[in-house]
Structure 1
């Protein structure tokens, strides 16, 4: 981002604009591109005519994202295997700025672009419906209905029993140790009966193309993986909160960087999200090399 240091308004708003674009698109790279284009449009704008820069910039980002979603959805229709959002790390102070988690990101994928925009702008970023009306080009009453419909769709994806950061990372560490050492008894004790495993390799690296559903299928998978881990040990990079979920970053034996995020309810892992697609991990790899 070739942002001018003499523009404090955009500098201050940029993190929230990136977060909005990422929540809309599920892609770090696409979000950065959208915010870069927003910056260029901001440079070409007569600032004296803009009464509320934050509302103006959110509107630009939203409209660019709505355009991008049309092509993004076409790309995802031909995606190989499970599609997961690009992983992002929550700040260590625990303040991610919103409560959107990986399950909610996936729930948002099932909404129409306008429903997604109305929900995020109102429920997550606190815009009123008059602002949203201007941003997405619909009447305020229609925006209210879009947000309400979206809210009903995503309600089931909200965590019913949220786990604290410290406890979540403690369970992530226990999961890592059990899965990598082949301690199947300890691993099984961490998993719920209806646990599901999603792995996103995008057809670029080896991974299961279909989810593993249920405790039996998940245990069979990890018994197979344990043999691989014994021959090719994982290298733990660090534990982290990934899209609101506790997890960890590893370099696996096949020299693939992987993020693993765990959805935990009542101290049991209910969903495992593994991202291995190197195209989605460039920002992770970049951070590891600095």
Structure 2
């Protein structure tokens, strides 16, 4: 009975651990590995000495993610072209605008913003601001003094607020861009598209060297030219579907029913698109056809 109860305790926490690990690592595959490592350690632990299983599991998972981030930093040096987090198809609820506000911490733009924080800043910020842990809990999880954790969260918070990556576009603003984008690739005309792009717009493509892609970030007018001249030739309108990707509406290109390209967006506070993220690395698209449930009340992710 005790073993069954311990398994139930872990399963109750699994979604929250996956949600934390995915936000930390930007990869569902790595997140699942980190959570599996956490499960193994949980099985081997002396549960009689664990007063708070939730705190214990969160601590083990967080520190396993920090280990993964050290290894990931070395891997990124050799990564071919820009790196973009693995896209997830997040099930939409009844209220798209509310869903978007609740899923801000899953958007591609926000996950990439986290990449610019130190690993411990990232962990402290997520634990405090996304998962609602007290500073005392964050201190215990990271093994740091509470004052140090406050500094980490404060520094990370100032950086996040200074960026536009947490801008929340309305459903109408998302719809306007998607219509303009599809019109541009159908007609080759840049006029409607140019009106919805920020002057500083950037486009990056992640293929990991495993598919045809631009190996550098392009900006401004070059983005418009690329969409109207290159994407309009390469994307078959009949093979494009709209998906809810990382809490925001995006597009996927299919080939014989298989996702070969996914596009997500970043918006300015004024509702214009300033970031276009295109993922073509097949390793990152394998699970996009499988919807992921997000529980906004606790950040959990379930597939």
Normalised to the residue count of structure 2, the TM-score between the two structures is 0.83
- Is the CA contact 2:109–2:166 (under 8 Å) kept in the aligned structure 1? no
Q: Tell me the distance in 2 between the aligned counterparts of 1:6 and 1:19.
A: 20
- Is the CA contact 1:234–1:252 (under 8 Å) kept in the aligned structure 2? no
Deviation at 1:25, TM superposition (A): 0.8
| Cα-to-partner distance string for 1:228-263 (whole Å, 9 max, x where unaligned) | 247x556123331x223321222269x861111122
Matched, 1:198 2:198: no
- Is the CA contact 2:23–2:111 (under 8 Å) kept in the aligned structure 1? yes
Matched, 1:178 2:154: no
Matched, 1:18 2:18: yes
Judged with a 3 Å threshold, the aligned counterparts in structure 2 of structure 1 residues 185 and 29 are, in CA distance, closer, same or farther, namely same
Moved more, 149-158 or 21-30: 149-158
1:157 is paired with a residue whose SS is: coil
Which runs of no fewer than 5 residues in structure 2 stay unpaired? 292-303
Moved more, 5-14 or 140-149: 5-14
Q: Tell me the distance in 2 between the aligned counterparts of 1:227 and 1:91.
A: 28
Q: Tell me the distance in 1 between the aligned counterparts of 2:290 and 2:92.
A: 19
- Provide the residue aligned with 1:208 in structure 2: 214
Select the residue among 250, 254, 258 that pairs with 2:253: 250
Judged with a 3 Å threshold, the aligned counterparts in structure 2 of structure 1 residues 278 and 163 are, in CA distance, closer, same or farther, namely same
Deviation at 1:127, TM superposition (A): 1.2
Judged with a 3 Å threshold, the aligned counterparts in structure 2 of structure 1 residues 64 and 257 are, in CA distance, closer, same or farther, namely same
- Provide the residue aligned with 1:188 in structure 2: 194
Q: Tell me the distance in 2 between the aligned counterparts of 1:136 and 1:99.
A: 24
- Provide the residue aligned with 2:151 in structure 1: 145
Judged with a 3 Å threshold, the aligned counterparts in structure 2 of structure 1 residues 48 and 158 are, in CA distance, closer, same or farther, namely farther
Q: Tell me the distance in 2 between the aligned counterparts of 1:55 and 1:155.
A: 28
Matched, 1:263 2:269: no
- Provide the residue aligned with 2:229 in structure 1: 224
Q: Tell me the distance in 2 between the aligned counterparts of 1:34 and 1:213.
A: 36
Runs of 4 or more above 4 Å deviation: 94-98, 158-161
Select the residue among 103, 113, 119 that pairs with 1:113: 119
Normalised to the residue count of structure 1, the TM-score between the two structures is 0.86
Q: Tell me the distance in 1 between the aligned counterparts of 2:173 and 2:39.
A: 37
- Provide the residue aligned with 1:54 in structure 2: 54
- Provide the residue aligned with 2:300 in structure 1: none
Q: Tell me the distance in 1 between the aligned counterparts of 2:290 and 2:166.
A: 35
- Provide the residue aligned with 2:299 in structure 1: none
Deviation at 1:69, TM superposition (A): 0.7
| Cα-to-partner distance string for 1:148-202 (whole Å, 9 max, x where unaligned) | 11112222234575213x3254235304422330242222222222211111111
Q: Tell me the distance in 2 between the aligned counterparts of 1:37 and 1:209.
A: 34
- Is the CA contact 2:205–2:217 (under 8 Å) kept in the aligned structure 1? yes
